[in-house]
Amino acid sequence: MTELLVRGGLVYGPDGPVEADVHVTDGVITRVEAGGAAPDGAMIVDATGMYVLPGAIDVHVHSRDPGFPEKEDFGTLTAAAAMGGVTTVLDMPNTVPAVDAAGVLEAKAALARPKARVDFGLWGLVRSSSTVEQLEGLAAAGAVGFKAYLGYSFSTSRKQVLQSTDADGAELEAPPDYGTLARLAPVLARLGLPLAIHAEDPAILAAFRRPLESYADLLDSRPPEAEAVAISASAAIAKESGVHLHVAHLSSALGLRAAQDAMRAGTRLTLETGPQYLWLSDQDFARLGTAMKVFPPVRTAADRDALVEAAASGVIRIVATDHAPHTDEEKSRPFEHAPSGSPGVQTLYLSCLELAKRLGDVSLAPRWVSEGPAELAGLRETKGAIAIGFDADLVIVDPNRKTQLRPALMRSRQRHGALDAREFGFAVSDVFLRGRPVVRDGKLVGRAAGRMVRPLGSR
């Protein structure tokens, strides 16, 4: 029996927008077509004049949970996600203890579940010391894929991935390098899970290190060559093993070209970029300050334009946020010492809808934040589209109401983001997770009922 009927909206299905009603039974979409009587007992939502979109899957968030409750936790992360129409988040493994083995992943899932307002998946970590058994264990425990932070040391005493600034007194293990990738890529290929990389070549970063007094210093210290080399080298390794290589947060035109070369050579490679790289350039630093300090950095207008073009043409198939909250105190430190990272999960969909509209095709937005991500996450049979048999993760958006991004609207513990003060010509009205309301009329409702997702087709 239909339990939810979303009526009269413009439904963004896999083949573009159609006026249709969406019927939901047991949390699953059972009918997408116009007309017909309303079944008895169903919750009826009038979506006349609204867009009905598939829930976003943000494949790159940092919940900080467990590890840094002052920055964020699973409750605040998923409240922000729900408010922005993100119905699934994939959490990165640099929580503490880092997710480098099955037991850690299971404990993290148990801790996240009672706080999760949306569904979640968990990435596993690749360390230079990772064993085949550890990776197999993580896959069996449900990891959506593996992340290698090229150049980021690991503190064995703190069980923590380190940003270079916080290594004081820690016992260090060498960062994963191309040797690590070459050793482990065949294992990940066999497991059928993607290998995501933080693509900044450590040798190039080391050669360009300098004090950071200005934004120009930051750009000089992390040149696009670092991204391009990391992509080319990792892709050469990936191609041999057949592993699916995923490039997180692509930031430069040079990196894009390296990735396209690798794709043309037959490497199985997907690209992700983020709203900060699609909306901002170095020119915004004067206005935003450390709020836009992220690694890799936001670069020039030419880089931004190349990324927008690649997203518009489908070369970049995934937009994800790298939602990386820090406290106000941390972000107000002098530029050199402020940690990198900015929140963004709540503004992902709105910013993508606005950009897609400006590019002349709103349906690009659900492709970037839902369809492409579902494929990466191994969820393409249950999420990522409004179609029969899929989870009823539905987002109702008002295309005639503006949203101005203000800290007071934000549900993340870090309320100041890189897109602060922007205005987008859409507003999220209602959000359903597997048919259950999580946001009604722009307000959080219900309790935390998120589930852990596991990739299909992994072994």
| Residue of 94, 160, 180, 414 interacting with ligand DOR (CB under 6 A) | 94
Question: Which residues are paired to 122 by β-bridges?
Answer: 91
Residue 348 contacts residue 84 (beta carbons within 8 Å): yes
Question: How far is it, in rounded angstroms, from Cα 448 to Cα 45?
Answer: 21
Query: Mapping DSSP to helix (H, G, I), strand (E, B) and coil, where does residue 247 land?
Result: strand
The encoded tokens of residue 290 equal 């450390």
Among 105, 138, 141, 294, binds ligand DOR (CB under 6 A): 294
Beta strands in 260-299 (DSSP E): 269-273
Please report how close the Cβ of residue 229 comes to ligand DOR at its closest, in angstroms.
17
Between the alpha carbon of residue 164 and those of residues 2, 150, 342, 391, the distances in Å are: 53, 12, 17, 41
Q: Write down the least CB distance from residue 249 to Zn ion, Å.
A: 7
Q: Which does 455 bind (CB under 5 to 8 A by kind): ligand DOR, Zn ion, none?
A: none
CB 100 to Zn ion: min, Å: 16
Residue 196 structure tokens: 């995501």
Q: Which is nearer to ligand DOR, 71 or 367 (CB)?
A: 71
**Residues 245-304 interacting with Zn ion (rule: CB under 5 A):** none
- CB-wise, 123 or 295, nearer to ligand DOR? 295
Binding residues for ligand DOR, total number by CB under 6 A: 9
Name the amino acid, one letter, at 434.
R
Distance of alpha carbon 427 from the chain centroid: 20
* Nearest to 358, CA basis, from 429, 424, 427: 424
- Nearest distance in Å: CB 198, ligand DOR: 5
For the bound state, the minimum distance from the C-beta of residue 92 to ligand DOR, rounded and expressed in Å, comes to 7
- Tell me the closest approach of the beta carbon of residue 129 to ligand DOR, in angstroms: 20
Site residue total, Zn ion (CB under 5 A): 1
CB proximity list for 94: less than 8 A, separation 6 or greater: 62, 125, 147, 149, 160, 161
Give me the least distance between CB of 220 and ligand DOR, in Å please.
17
Cβ 324 to Zn ion, closest distance in Å?
6
Is 51 near ligand DOR (CB under 6 A)?
Answer: no
| Three-class DSSP category at 444 | strand
Query: Nearest Cα to 100, choosing from 66, 150, 143, 68?
Result: 143
**Residue of the chain from 68, 154, 277, 295 that contacts ligand DOR (CB under 6 A):** 295
Nearer to Zn ion, 100 or 322 (CB): 322
**Which residue, 276 or 429, has its beta carbon nearer to Zn ion?**
276
User: Which residue lies nearer to ligand DOR by CB, 94 or 351?
Assistant: 94
**Cβ atoms of 114 and 82 closer than 8 Å:** no
Mapping DSSP to helix (H, G, I), strand (E, B) and coil, where does residue 218 land? helix
- Which residue of 201, 284, 322, 420 would you call a contact of Zn ion, by CB under 5 A? 322
85's tokens: 């129409």
Q: How near is the Cβ of 324 to ligand DOR at its closest, in Å?
A: 4
CB 72 within 8 A of CB 413: yes
Pick from Zn ion, ligand DOR, none: which does 94 bind, CB < 5 to 8 A by kind?
Answer: ligand DOR
| Binding of ligand DOR by 198 (CB under 6 A) | yes
Q: How far is CA 378 from the centre of its chain?
A: 14
Q: Using CA atoms, how far apart are residues 272 and 283, in angstroms rounded to an integer?
A: 23
Q: Binding segment for Zn ion among 177-185, 318-326, 402-410, 412-420 (CB under 5 A)?
A: 318-326
Give the nearer residue to ligand DOR in terms of CB position, either 243 or 248. Answer: 248
From start to end of 219-278, where are the E strands? Answer: 245-247, 269-273
Closest CB to ligand DOR among residues 89, 438: 89
Q: Are 234 and 197 in contact (CB under 8 A)?
A: yes
- Rounded Cα distance between 162 and 160, Å, is 6
**What is d(CA 340, CA 431) in angstroms, rounded to the nearest whole number?**
31
* CA 5 vs CA 2, 399, 429, 441: distances in Å: 7, 20, 16, 16
- Binding residue for ligand DOR, selected from 181, 324, 431, 433, defined by CB under 6 A: 324
Residue 91 interacts with Zn ion (CB under 5 A): yes or no: no
CB of 2 to ligand DOR, least distance (A): 42
Tell the smallest beta-carbon distance from residue 184 to ligand DOR (Å).
Answer: 20
Q: State which of residues 93, 341, 366, 373 lies at the interface with ligand DOR (CB under 6 A).
A: 341
Nearest residue relative to Zn ion (C-beta): 322
DSSP state letter for 391 = B
Binding window for Zn ion (CB under 5 A); candidates: 16-24, 253-261, 315-323, 344-352: 315-323
Segment contacting Zn ion by CB under 5 A, of 237-245, 290-298, 320-328, 395-403: 320-328
- Rounded-to-integer distance, Cα 174 and Cα 54, Å: 41
Q: Which spans of this chain sit near Zn ion (rule: CB under 5 A)?
A: 322
Q: Which spans of this chain sit near ligand DOR (rule: CB under 6 A)?
A: 62, 94, 198, 294-295, 322, 324, 340-341
